[in-house]
């Protein structure tokens, strides 16, 4: 079990994602989670990538599953209303999965946009599938945190790993971290409700995770607004992830918990403003304060 410690934040090792270092003191790495909000449409995926790049995000993220492995047998034949008519749940999952041709186009388009991209792989076949694109890292979805076989498979890749901790007990997170090791590991605080309510977010867990595991910690948010994600950065989140969509009213299970283009643009802007505002923590009188001090202080001090 990982031991709690009192290491200062400047001792937390940085993790390199693509051309950027992630860790305390570095600009927050912003991930636009496209997930399956493309609804199986490669043109929609390209539009979402363009939104992420235009907003100033560092990466786009997708989800990759092998439906036969990820859909439990008891759910495969359940009928579901979809934009393509009534499909079984397995047919629906297959409908929204991209294959090699689509991901090759995504790879080319992200490179053209100078945007990193990677995926949450939900099974070992999907990991092997993604290997061909040499992603900068792999994401471990909250739903797969307890899948030891998948975690071992990902560890073997010797790439940075981003571990999301939604719907997980502390003991389950301890076990996953013990299995993965802390080298090139980033842990994401997350709450797996869609959309999440503000009283559920528990952002105070961010510094707790950083102190407990001594790795960079981020925040994967599923709420509808921006303030809590900006607050996560002020609390020390080195990486943030938010779902994006063209329209929150679009069909799909993640659309309502997503940010529209204006929202993700404002989020990146606000994060950069917060980073400028944090300073170095040293209390001092600023040069621009001096004339105001001279004008407003009735009793002047010799100590400046």
Mean pLDDT confidence for 47-60: 98
Burial (Cβ within 10 Å: 0-12, 13-18, ≥19) of residue 39: middle
Mean pLDDT confidence for 66-74: 90
Domain annotation covers residue 134? yes
- Flag whether pLDDT at 8 surpasses 80: no
Number of independent structural domains in the chain: 1
User: Tokens at residue 45, please?
Assistant: 């995926």
Report pLDDT for 4: 47
Report pLDDT for 255: 84
Q: What percent of the chain has pLDDT over 90?
A: 84
- Flag whether pLDDT at 9 surpasses 80: no
Domain annotation covers residue 303? no
Categorize the per-residue pLDDT at 228 as very low, low, confident or very high, splitting at 50, 70 and 90: very high
Give per-residue pLDDT as tens, 154-184: 999 999 999 999 999 999 999 999 999 999 9
- HEC profile of the chain: CCCCCCCCHHHCCCEEECCEEECCCCCCEEEEEEECCCCCCHHHHHHHHHHHHHHCCCEEEEEECCHHHHCCHHHCCCEEEECCEEEEHHHHHHHCCCCHHHHHHHHHHHHHCCCEEEEEECCHHHHHHHHCCCCCCEEECHHHCCCHHHHHHHHCCCCCEEEECCCCCHHHHHHHHHHHCCCCEEEEEECCCCCCCHHHCCCCHHHHHHHHHCCCEEEEECCCCCHHHHHHHHCCCCEEEEEECCCCCCCCCCHHHCECHHHHHHHHHHHHHHHHHHCCCCCCCCHHHHHHHHHHCCCCCCCC
Mean pLDDT confidence for 40-51: 96
Domain annotation covers residue 234? yes
Q: Which of 118, 226, 129, 132 is nearest to 164 (CA)?
A: 118
Mean pLDDT confidence for 122-142: 97
- Flag whether pLDDT at 3 surpasses 60: no
**Bigger pLDDT: 214 or 82?**
214
Report pLDDT for 6: 42
The residue range of the domain holding 267 is 9-296
Mean pLDDT confidence for 268-294: 95
CATH of the domain at 159: 3.20.20.70
Give per-residue pLDDT as tens, 205-219: 999 999 999 999 999
Mean pLDDT confidence for 19-37: 95
Domain annotation covers residue 221? yes
Domain annotation covers residue 172? yes
User: Tokens at residue 233, please?
Assistant: 């950065």
Cα separation, 290 vs 299, whole angstroms? 14
Burial (Cβ within 10 Å: 0-12, 13-18, ≥19) of residue 301: exposed
Report pLDDT for 10: 55
């Amino acid at each position: 079990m990982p031991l709690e410690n009192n290491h200062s934040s400047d001792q937390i090792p940085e993790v390199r994602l693509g051309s950027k270092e992630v860790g305390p003191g570095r600009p927050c790495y912003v991930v636009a989670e496209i997930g399956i909000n493309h609804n199986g449409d490669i043109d929609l995926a390209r539009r979402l990538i363009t939104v992420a790049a235009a907003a100033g995000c560092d990466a786009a993220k997708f989800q990759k599953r092998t439906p036969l492995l990820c859909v439990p047998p008891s759910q495969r034949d359940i009928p579901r209303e979809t934009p393509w008519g009534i499909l079984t749940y397995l047919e629906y999952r297959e409908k929204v999965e991209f294959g090699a041709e689509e991901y090759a186009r995504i790879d080319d388009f992200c490179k053209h946009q100078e945007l990193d991209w990677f995926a949450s792989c939900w099974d070992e076949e999907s990991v092997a599938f993604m290997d061909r694109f040499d992603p900068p890292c792999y994401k471990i979805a909250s739903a797969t945190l307890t899948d030891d076989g998948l975690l071992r498979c990902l560890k073997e890749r010797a790439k940075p790993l981003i571990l999301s901790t939604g719907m997980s007990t502390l003991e389950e997170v301890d076990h996953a971290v013990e299995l993965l090791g802390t080298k090139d590991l980033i842990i994401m605080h997350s709450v797996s409700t869609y959309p999440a309510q503000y009283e559920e977010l528990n952002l105070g867990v961010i510094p707790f995770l950083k102190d407990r595991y001594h790795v960079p910690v981020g925040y994967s948010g599923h709420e509808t607004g921006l303030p809590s994600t900006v607050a996560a950065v002020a609390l020390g989140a080195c990486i943030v992830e938010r779902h994006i969509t063209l329209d929150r009213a679009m069909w799909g299970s993640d659309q309502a918990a997503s940010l529209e283009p204006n929202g993700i643009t404002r989020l990146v802007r606000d994060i950069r403003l917060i980073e400028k505002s944090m300073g170095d923590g040293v209390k001092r009188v600023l040069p621009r304060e001096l004339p105001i001090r001279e004008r407003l202080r009735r009793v002047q001090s010799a100590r400046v």
